[in-house]
Chains A and B, each alone.
Chain A
Amino acid sequence: MKYSAIPGPQGLYDPSYESDSCGVAAVADIKGRRSNKIVADGITALINLEHRGAAGADPAVGDGAGILFQVPEGFLRAVVDFDLPVAVACGDREGQEPDGCAFAVGIAFLPADDEERVRAKAIVEAIIAEEGLDLLGWRSVPIDPVGAGVGQMALDVMPVFEQLFLAGPADQHGHRPYGIALDRLVYAVRKRSENETVAADVDVYFPSLSSRTMVYKGMLTTQQLPDFFDDLRDTRVESAIVIVHSRFSTNTFPAWPLAHPFRFIAHNGEINTVRGNRNRMRAREALLATDLIPGDLSRVFPINSPLASDSASFDEVLELLHLGGRSLPHAVMMMIPEAWENSRDTMDPAIRGFAEFHASVMEPWDGPACVTFTDGRLLGAVLDRNGLRPGRWWLTSDDTVVLASEAGVLPIPPEKIIERGRLQPGRMFLVDTVVGRIMDDAEVKSRLAAQHPYADWVHAGLVPLGDLPAREHVVTSHDAVLRRQQVFGYSEEDLRILVTPMAATGAEAIGSMGTDTPEAVLSARPRLLFDYFSQLFAQVTNPPLDAIREQVVTSMSSVIGPEENLLAPSPNSCRQISLPFPVIDNDDLAKLVGVNSDGNMAGFASSVISGLYEVEGGAEALRSALERCRREADEAIAGGARILVLSDRDCDARHAPIPSLLLTSAVHQHLVRQKSRTKVALITETGDAREVHHVALLLGYGAGAVNPYLALESAEDLAVTGLLGDTTPAKAVTNMVYALGKGVLKVMSKMGISTVGSYRQAQAFAAFGIDESVLGEYFTGTTSRTGGSDLGVIAQDILERHSLAFVSNTAVREHRGLEIGGQYQWRREGEIHLFNPETVYLLQHATKTKQVSVFRRYTDTVDELSRKGGTLRGLFGLRTDVRTPIPLTEVEPVEAIVRRFVTGAMSYGSISIEAHQTLAIAMNRLGGRSNTGEGGEDVERLLDPARRSAIKQVASGRFGVTSAYLVNSDEIQIKMAQGAKPGEGGQLPGNKIYPWIAKTRHATTGVGLISPPPHHDIYSIEDLKQLIHDLRNANPRAAVSVKLVAEPGVGTVAAGVVKAHADLVIIAGYDGGTGAAPLTSLKHTGQPWELGLAEAQQTLRLNGLREQVRLQADGGLKTGRDVVIAALLGAEEFGFATAPLVVAGCVMMRVCHLDTCPVGIATQNPVLRERFTGTPEFVETFFLFLAEQVREYLAALGFRSITEAVGHAELLDIAPAVDHHRARGLDLAPLLAVADIDAGHSCTNPAQHDLSDTLDARFIEQAAQTLTDGSPVRLTSLVRNVNRTVGTMLGSEVTRRFGPEGLPAGTIDLDLTGTAGQSLGAFLPTGIVITLTGDANDYVAKGLSGGRIVVKPAEDSPAQAPGAKTQVIAGNTIGYGATSGELYLRGRVGERFAVRNSGALMVAEGTGDHAMEYMTGGRVVILGRTGRNAAAGMSGGIGYLLDADLTRINKELVDVEVLDADELIWLGEVVADHARYTGSPIARALLAAWPEESARFSRVMPRDYRKVLALQARAAETGVDADDLIMEASRG
């Protein structure tokens, strides 16, 4: 990386994991009048976004800030001492205002070394000459690094800044090219300069080089930017358009080019699919051609420069599309299309045609994104289809538009505000400074859509798969199916646990508890290649999606077939086949294979390539078969084939199948390299894929569609033999296809990817235990730092399976059709499980009878299983020969060690009160900490120091997260991910919501609860920073921790989390437990904590952040050896869940999700709970024994305490690993890398969090009397966007002193004026009323706990004039997780209003998409339009909608009904309150004619909730217990 201090890959750290996120703002004069004021406003806005950026260990080193504006022609002419040509419009453009200068300019980042700089400039100048352009001159850019206070690390890698001025050749009239015409010429200069200086080993980087816009940026804080560049303080610099950007990076290493803006965009977000996008761009290069950019385009290749960030890659493609002839809005719409797939009925057909056509041209660049863009004339912004980034805008009376990540970035007096709006998912916001107005989304899109008859092109070109003629269906005999199952390594368990549920129900099976089996590379049995890969998932830097509740934005359809020249769209561009689903059955495959058998699909010839090899030939035969397949693919393409089917059918005694994943990826990568990939569709016809993970991998590594024929035949066979009940064979196949496909959707959404079109080829997987020789060649782009199995091992595994299938004497396998399995449940002949009958017994026996000797048998047995490959840590040895052992008596006592132990997050609800309390009491006695999990804590326990859980978890469902809950905690844990199912939410079905659970969770008895996959207030790292800030305000005395799950890059995420001010980071392993998770998640997502912890330790040390934060390891810890290894790898705290549960009686039934736990742990059934036999003493004994064992290890290693041992990875020995049977080739050395730098190993300097400078600190002082005696008080204050989480700390004091009940309503009145920062009134308890005059940002009333919040606009704003449109008053995710209280908002709000509300009353006057999502209680009144997908996942509470638009309501769980008379009275009172508190004209108008107007309301009623209400009513009438009645009904 140029001009960067980012270290190269070392240990487990890899810079490619770095990601960032940020705040962005833009200011423009919509009439295009250039001024310095616009520039100055832009800089002010940037500084007000400071809290969205971050700094590293050195606060003077910012993560990056920058500014993009129109080329300030006048200023430049004044400061350079050479002539700059003047643009003269001529020819057909005569009379028009030139669209740019007749010269191009840009800052060059040049080497600081004088000699090198001379060389660099010489290369650039030579290229300029070669390209036929004129070098006008260089200008040294004046900077003031000292005055700006730039930190040393940034200075160390700072380039020299010189502006380059170029001009194009003059024509016969002496006119030089200008504007985009010039930019097209300059493009080649810049691309070539950057590429060709690499060869000369000098670094040159141009933030921009254009005749229209220019960029100033650097590794600076927002405040440093104007101080650093003198030009930015020069009032002669004028522009009509400014974009600014403040960056929050996960690392602390300065890298000057990574700052935004790029040449056309500033981006707040993350492109999750960038790997696939880049691969495809590379493949497309072969076909790229355009007359617009003179010369051979290949000289600018690669389009995507190596080592660029996702945003930079996006910018590069956008640039190509734009210079290649498309307008910027057009190009942006192609790359970030709105969710058009599911809106056939509601969308303009022409716009839909545009979208559908372009889906054939380019896959979406998917991920949470807010892209702000400009070409110097247009200023635009677009949000991703999910709207996962915030964006607000204002139009003032002096024609200024301000657009920013949040409200209030510029102090605009209310009387100047004409209109306030917000960016919306998939919608474009565009200002045309030449036309002089804001264009709305529909206008922009209609115009673009009208350029060509796209819909006709699609109709004529695109062939739906269903329209292809059917071919013959072949039914396979049972014996043939069995033989194939053997060849492909099917087990009985695969059929029973994986295939049967999918075939019978069309859904993937659910399991529980964590996985405790070896990694594929450590296993002693032949494992499928699929098992070496784990699914990546989003955590912190971007959110997982909710593919179920927010299906409206997802798409499983895609197109396959040849692509055309990206830069020359034509009807031919969409001559492709559209697939509704990525999994196809055998009949569909036959259609594709026979696509042109009738001769009427010319140009679509198909070719089948046989993926078999001679199994006896081993690795060599496998390798040459792969080469053959690649060669055949080339030949087929040359011969005109456009559909390639990679098939492993027809194996026999000699021929075995190449693993389909290897085959698919090998051919795919080859075609990418050949640049022929976009010419063909790849279809994988395979017998080995049988679960979701397999299909997801095949798609991720290159398959356009997957035909898992054997899985389908197996389903058919199960149905034929009557094992699927009433399910017919045909239905079984359909179910299977559906389940596999839907499962893939879930896998995609874990990563935050919405469409299968962009998921394909995105390689969103981590590999572990595969040798680089395999990865580099066949899975290019996927790396593993630790080596592992090579083709030899892979071939050996295939041979083992193959020889079982083709035994010459079948009698020897009599009664043994398939292997038994044992991956999911322990079996004698199956895989190793660390918890097996012996270890469970020994652990329980040892702790019940307090026998140390039995405990030692337990740990010896577990450690032995570990050594056999059960865990990664099992492969380590402990080096007692390095330090001098010390006497045991000198080691810190067990009492000190047990304080470092915590129990895992298990919710009350997933486990019984008996089990939950047992753990809590034990940990409280020991001085360790137990964890509430996601289910809240009932008030009696909350206030009982003996029985409460010291750690309060905050997860996405926010169940029972109230002010009192947070105040009564020692630690607040934000669960970003859970080891068993990272990237997914959870569900507690209605039949488990017993009355006591409902009460604790603030839910309704008998009504199911869903926790969403993402925290709806964390879509990015800066959002996490905000939530940490909120929670710290909610309880300043508690530590805030963040739980992450190990995956490659987790160290980088951890660094970001530390920069977001967490006190403790938990690295959980993939093997964590769960009450319920899809099996794909249990087995195939996340990695061992050993990898994650080592990476986190290394990355934090490299970043200089380690000393600020504590690290905790969590996941399957069972023995003293485990604890010590975790400490040596960097953990200072240790989490346990399954082991203490086993101590308390768990026998790993793995039926937690069924409520039938026979030992009374994972059940609420009172009958079963009586069987609970655990006691706190057992658990205490376990931890005491464990601590004693830890002491022994410490003594032997030569440490007196854990603190001394933390991070001493050099004491681990990897030699034993080399001997492991299959672990040959595994190189664990990267885990043990301890960088030789001056940085601490553990938390010695915890970060201090100062809240004394907040408004709340002042309020608490002013309300001192009230906080003592409860006397009423009124407080007033101005607020700005930088005042975040206002009211929360004051609220925490109220709760701390007056308990969960709070104070009488209205005791504290807080009157605020201005624009409130995020999280206004979060967790506000009863007794406080906040009234804000002005507007508010995101997360108002988050976790509202009884307080009242009123937000109303200033009356003197033109935006509030009578007849004006309803304005936006607050941002996204308002009222998230509110449990009680009231919220009145006079105006519209953004996405996900009242999400997970469980008890509050909320009124707003219009909402964005997904309003009332996941609501479980409370009342919501919306006096205006709602966006799409209202009431998704809403299981409780009631919504009242004015003029409800039924098409926008997700009716899966709710009905829309007419109100009762009683209700109308109640609603009238609410509306009257709204009018009284906010002065709402809408409310007043309604009340003025209530009897008529009230008829405009509809009730949105969840069906389950209605049933429960009816039962409650019946109970009240008949006098029976309502809860009994409900539970009886819910269990059917």
Chain B
Amino acid sequence: MADPSGFLKYERHTPTRRPVPLRLRDWKEVYEPFSEAETRDQAARCMDCGIPFCHQGCPLGNLIPEWNELVRTGRWEDASDRLHATNNFPEFTGRLCPAPCEGSCVLAIGDDPVSIKVVEQQIADRAIADGGLAPRPAAVSTGRKVAVVGSGPAGLAAAQQLARAGHEVTVFERDGRIGGLMRYGIPEFKMGRDVLDRRLEQMTAEGVRFLTHCAVGVDLSVADLRHNFHAIIIATGSTVPRELQVDGRRLDGVELAMDYLVSANKALEGTADLAPRFDAAGRHVVIIGGGDTGADCYGTALRQGAASVTQLDIHVQPPVTRHPSTPWPVYPLLLRTSAAHEEGGQRVFGVNSTSFEGTDGRVTGIHLVEGKRVGGGFIPSAGTETDLEADLVLLALGFVGPEREGLLDDLGIDISGRGTVDRDDDYMTNMPGVFVAGDAGRGQSLIVWAIAEGRSAAAGVDAYLSGGSSLPDPLQPTAIALR
């Protein structure tokens, strides 16, 4: 049983971030190590609730009270087991997840929530360090072949689950290396690439085959795919960006955030040079969009040596504590200051970009107006127009859905009114044997949703192939967060 009064003894702590000047000089993860003792104290704050709202807040259904207790009592190996029971990749989520669990932690009602994310990462990292990623290959082979298209978190999770269920799994990736957004979409200072690589090693050892540079529908025909595999999982993500329809959008230097990040990450990894149009060095960088992708651009631009970085958010500045419109335990609306935001630059709230200014076809500035977001629209306040100097503008406005050409169209997949792939309760599309998992089916979402979908879709595929499945099935396709 948990320490019932742990939360009265200890205060919330999270790892300190390395000093800004230091961390701006490299691309390494920004956090200092967190000691075992401190992790255990933090875990001891968990109250072992009768209704663990955190466990609900987590799409994966992570057994948070269970592993908090195991960490509190120093049973790290058991904690890792319990963590992996619901989550294939806790070392990813421990770094990348915005932790809706903490927003729904019961302790957050009148206190600071348990540092769940830190505990998760500590469990995951220790497991890796202690050899916890030993391969766990299936004892039997079903002789069934499954293709997973896309190697982001949803695809990888599905692949690992299906391989363990004894199926022969091949992951197709159109890019050069495996990992999807986790490899190219996020900066290294959020998650080192070695973390990803170690997990891929495990999966390889468990029998998952990875095929890169293979765009299904282009490099491999859909007909061949169907012919060679008993089941297919589409895990291609939601990659069509939301556009900004204003004057000057076509100017040079007005770029999509994801193009920028991929370019930067590939340059860093050494698989490509940083295209000059993406280099922020010495430039006045303006990021449009207040979300995580924007923040990723923010930190990347600073590290590239931008002259200035400004992030624009169409929403008014949220309060520093939970806004009443998002009462506990729903995911709170509040001012989130990511590590990047501490590193320089500025954030501007409640502004809309009206047009871009350019010289010689290249962007030089941006026209803004203050105002309020109402419904889906924006009501400008008269007389609040301003200009901002900008020679690199990054559009981080989110994504509208999966790409249809090629794979989806060729397979004849139905698309929902929301622009995502339609699926039934078992994650199967209108085409028998073709399943969908992750953002392609759900629309853009968090990594935890992607992994959860991958796991559930795997259960669906397994049941489809074997007539029944013992694989965990954490998520209904229609499940959404509390609102």
A residues apposed to B, CB below 8 Å:
492, 496-497, 500-501, 513, 723, 804, 807-817, 820, 824-829, 833, 835-838, 840-841, 844-845, 848, 1145, 1147-1151, 1154, 1156, 1158-1160, 1167-1168, 1171, 1173
Contacts and interface: CB of A to CB of B under 8 A. Distances in A.
B371 interface: no
Given A496-B1, A815-B81, A1151 B165 contact: no
Contacts of B47: 1149, 1151, 1156, 1158
A837 B109 contact: no
Contact of B139 (A809, A836, A1156): A809
Contact of B53 (A820, A837, A1171): A837
A838 B470 contact: no
A803 to B, nearest CB: 8
Given A838-B56, A838-B482, A1148-B50, A809 B140 contact: yes
Contacts of B469: 812
Given A837-B104, A1151-B50, A828 B56 contact: yes
A825 B164 contact: no
Contacts of A841: 53, 327-330, 482
Interface SS of chain B: loop
A833 B165 CA distance: 31
A1158 B327 contact: no
B1 A837 contact: no
B166 interface: yes
Contact of A1158 (B1, B61, B84, B111): B111
B136 interface: yes
Given A1147-B51, A1156-B5, A812 B165 contact: yes
Contacts of B75: 723
Given A837-B53, A1171-B109, A814 B482 contact: no
Interface in B436-460: none
13 contacts: A809-B166, A812-B164, A814-B136, A825-B51, A826-B56, A836-B51, A837-B53, A840-B51, A1147-B106, A1150-B50, A1168-B8, A1171-B109, A1173-B109
Contacts of A501: 1
B66 interface: yes
B139 A810 contact: yes
Contacts of A496: 1
A837 B51 contact: yes
A500 B2 CA distance: 12
A848 B51 contact: no
Nearest to B3: A1156
Given A814-B84, A826-B52, 7 more contacts: A492-B66, A815-B82, A815-B85, A824-B50, A827-B63, A829-B61, A1151-B47
Nearest to B135: A811
A814 B85 CA distance: 7
Interface of B: 1, 4-5, 7-8, 47-53, 55-57, 61, 63, 65-66, 75, 81-82, 84-85, 104, 106-107, 109-111, 136-140, 164-166, 206, 327-330, 462, 469-472, 474, 482
B140 A808 contact: yes
Contacts of B65: 825
B159 to A, nearest CB: 13
Contacts of A1173: 109-110
B50 A828 contact: no
A813 B138 CA distance: 10
A1160 B110 CA distance: 10
Interface SS of chain A: loop
A988 B107 CA distance: 25
Contacts of B206: 811
A1147 B55 contact: no
Contacts of B472: 816, 829
A841 B4 CA distance: 23
Nearest to A840: B51
Contacts of A1159: 109-110
A811 B136 contact: yes
Nearest to B107: A1158
A162 B478 CA distance: 79
A855 to B, nearest CB: 15
Contacts of B8: 1156, 1167-1168
Contacts of B5: 1154, 1156
B55 to A, nearest CB: 6
A811 B471 contact: no
A1171 to B, nearest CB: 4
A812 B138 contact: yes
Contacts of B1: 496-497, 500-501
Nearest to B141: A809
Nearest to A1145: B109
A1268 B279 CA distance: 97
Contacts of A1167: 8
Contact of B56 (A808, A836, A1168): A836
A497 B66 CA distance: 12
Nearest to A509: B1
Nearest to A501: B1
B137 A1158 contact: no
A1158 B165 contact: no
Contact of B166 (A812, A1151, A1158): A812
Given A828-B55, A1156-B8, A1158-B110, A809 B50 contact: no
Q: 5 tightest CB-CB pairs across the interface, nearest first? A: A1150-B50, A837-B56, A1171-B110, A828-B61, A811-B164
Contacts of A817: 81
A199 B374 CA distance: 87
A825 B52 contact: yes
A1322 B56 CA distance: 54
A385 to B, nearest CB: 38
Given A513-B50, A1149-B106, A1158-B47, A815 B327 contact: no
A837 to B, nearest CB: 4
Given A809-B166, A829-B472, A841-B330, A816 B52 contact: no
Contact of B4 (A808, A1147, A1148, A1156): A1156
Given A808-B139, A812-B138, A1149 B50 contact: yes
Nearest to A1160: B110
Given A837-B104, A1167-B8, A811 B82 contact: no
Nearest to B139: A809
Nearest to A804: B470
Contact of B165 (A811, A845, A1156): A811
A1159 B470 CA distance: 39
A928 to B, nearest CB: 27
A500 B65 CA distance: 16
A838 B55 CA distance: 12
A1077 to B, nearest CB: 14
Contacts of B328: 841
B139 A1158 contact: no
A1147 B61 CA distance: 18
A820 B136 CA distance: 21
B52 A1147 contact: no
Given A501-B1, A804-B470, A1154-B4, A1147 B53 contact: yes
A845 B140 CA distance: 50
Nearest to B75: A723
A689 to B, nearest CB: 22
A844 B51 CA distance: 14
A826 B53 CA distance: 9
Contacts of A844: 327
A840 B51 CA distance: 9
Contacts of B4: 1151, 1154, 1156
Candidate in B104, B164, B166, B206 with the most chain A CB atoms within 10 angstroms: B164
Contacts of A825: 48-52, 65
Nearest to A513: B50
A1147 B63 CA distance: 18
B468 to A, nearest CB: 9
Candidate in A497, A808, A833, A1151 with the most chain B CB atoms within 10 angstroms: A1151
A277 to B, nearest CB: 41
Nearest to B161: A812
Contacts of A813: 470
